[in-house]
Amino acid sequence: MKKTEVMSFGKPDEVREFPKGRIELIKIGGATVGRAIFEPGWKWSESVQPIAKTKSCEAPHFQYHISGVLKVHMDDGTEFLCHPGDVSLLPSGHDAWVVGNEPAVVVDFQGMIDYAKSV
């Protein structure tokens, strides 16, 4: 580490918007960290898949869940819920959607560098 750095999602380096959601990206210490805000009704296969053009989400994620609930469906059929305070590690090959009426907000330390980026 060469120097101290402080960044804020209040002033992200980049914002990518897609139907019912957006990600805010900051670059710090040679890494890209993303905050994703998924509105009620958001589903990866409906909102991001048309941008990614892949069968399922291929981005691996290492996430801290701040608010809302996400349901994750892995390509192997495994399903689980992620709640506020959870930390999840998701390999490639999944779909996810917001459960309930509260936006799901996650901070992702891996997998956002190309997320929802037009090819």
Q: What is the pTM of this model?
A: 0.93
pLDDT band at 118 (very low <50, low <70, confident <90, very high): confident
In 3D space, the residue among 44, 90, 37, 46 whose CA is nearest the CA of residue 68 turns out to be 37
- Phi, psi torsion values for 50, nearest 5 degrees: -60, -25
Superfamily the domain 15-108 falls into: Jelly Rolls (2.60.120.10)
Q: Given this model, what pLDDT does residue 1 score?
A: 58
What tens digit of pLDDT does each residue of 7-26 get?
999 999 999 999 999 999 99
